[in-house]
């Protein structure tokens, strides 16, 4: 039987959603990840909410602690000492220049930051012209990516990146829109199941030579949501 939300729970959700990871809020309220996201959407605090509204400002003392301890202990310990979320601590570390991956990093390191396989990053390079430098080391091609150029590139390629796998604050110079894009991606991919009518629309749009990006926009889904659907074999068509 579904448990109704109490006023106290709703208040907690409003005060912390967008400031702390959804999984932490779910654990605190003893609810599922999907339940928290669905409720947030229903009361209007999903991806359209300003995520900086209730953010606690960093003090000079906290910044000094970060500079002296961040690189020498697990990020979870730092977060616990400062009574902040792991995501918040990582993002602050990036702004302070404390990240391990700062200016130039390899395709393998970038893949690690997005919790994905290097083949995904190589696809960004080969199919979507992600800026990079190629280095031939004894017959083996290595790829170096400049962080500033990477973030500029992502602005026009948000739809091809699985933001749900990216950990906020992992990379320095992270734009403000990234966290909101991640929240939007997670919400849009957990809010509802595919219906027969949805599948019918997908087939019609594909027959009309619509791209996956266009189909996703038309149905209020993400590029990866459409791609996953096609690869599942439920709807037959060309995987692009």
Phi, psi at residue 196, to the nearest 5°? -60, -35
165: DSSP letter: G
List the domain boundaries for the chain: 1-55, 60-95, 106-172, 196-232
What tens digit of pLDDT does each residue of 60-89 get? 999 989 888 776 667 778 888 898 888 788
Q: Is the pLDDT reported for residue 47 higher than 50?
A: no
Q: Between vectors from CA 180 to CA 74 and to CA 110, what angle results, nearest 5°?
A: 50
**Any residues with CB less than 8 A from the CB of 118 and at least 6 apart, and which?**
107, 108, 111
pTM listed for this prediction: 0.45
C-alpha–C-alpha distance, residues 48 and 180, integer Å: 8
Q: Please tell me the class of the 106-172 domain.
A: mainly alpha
**The pLDDT value given to residue 59:** 92
Q: Report the 10 Å Cβ neighbour count for 234.
A: 11
What tens digit of pLDDT does each residue of 136-153 get? 777 888 888 888 899 999
Q: Is the pLDDT reported for residue 45 higher than 80?
A: no
Phi, psi at residue 63, to the nearest 5°? -65, -40
Give the 3-state secondary structure of residue 237: coil
Q: Is the pLDDT reported for residue 234 higher than 70?
A: no
**The pLDDT value given to residue 240:** 47
Mean pLDDT (whole number) for 155-169: 83
What tens digit of pLDDT does each residue of 178-194 get? 888 887 666 555 556 77
């Amino acid at each position: 039987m579904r448990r109704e939300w109490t006023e106290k729970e709703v208040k907690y959700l409003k005060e912390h959603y967008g400031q702390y990871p959804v999984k932490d809020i779910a654990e605190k309220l003893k609810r599922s990840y999907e339940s928290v996201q669905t409720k947030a959407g229903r009361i209007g605090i999903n991806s359209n909410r300003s995520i900086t509204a209730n953010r606690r400002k960093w003090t000079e003392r906290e910044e000094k602690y970060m500079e002296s301890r961040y690189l020498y202990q697990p990020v979870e310990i730092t977060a616990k000492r400062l009574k902040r979320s792991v995501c918040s601590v990582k993002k602050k570390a990036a702004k302070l220049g404390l990240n391990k991956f700062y200016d130039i990093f390899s395709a393998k390191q970038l893949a690690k930051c997005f919790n994905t396989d290097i083949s995904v990053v190589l696809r960004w390079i080969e199919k979507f012209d992600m800026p990079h430098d190629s280095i031939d080391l004894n017959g083996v091609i290595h790829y170096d990516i400049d962080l500033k150029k990477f973030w500029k590139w992502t602005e026009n390629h948000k739809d091809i990146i699985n933001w749900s796998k990216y950990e906020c604050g992992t990379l320095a110079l992270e734009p403000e829109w990234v966290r909101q894009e991640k929240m939007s991606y997670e919400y849009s991919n957990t809010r509802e199941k595919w219906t027969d009518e949805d599948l019918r629309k997908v087939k019609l749009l594909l027959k009309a030579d619509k791209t996956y990006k266009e189909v996703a926009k038309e149905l209020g889904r993400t590029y990866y949501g459409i791609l996953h659907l096609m690869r599942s074999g439920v709807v037959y068509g060309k995987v692009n």
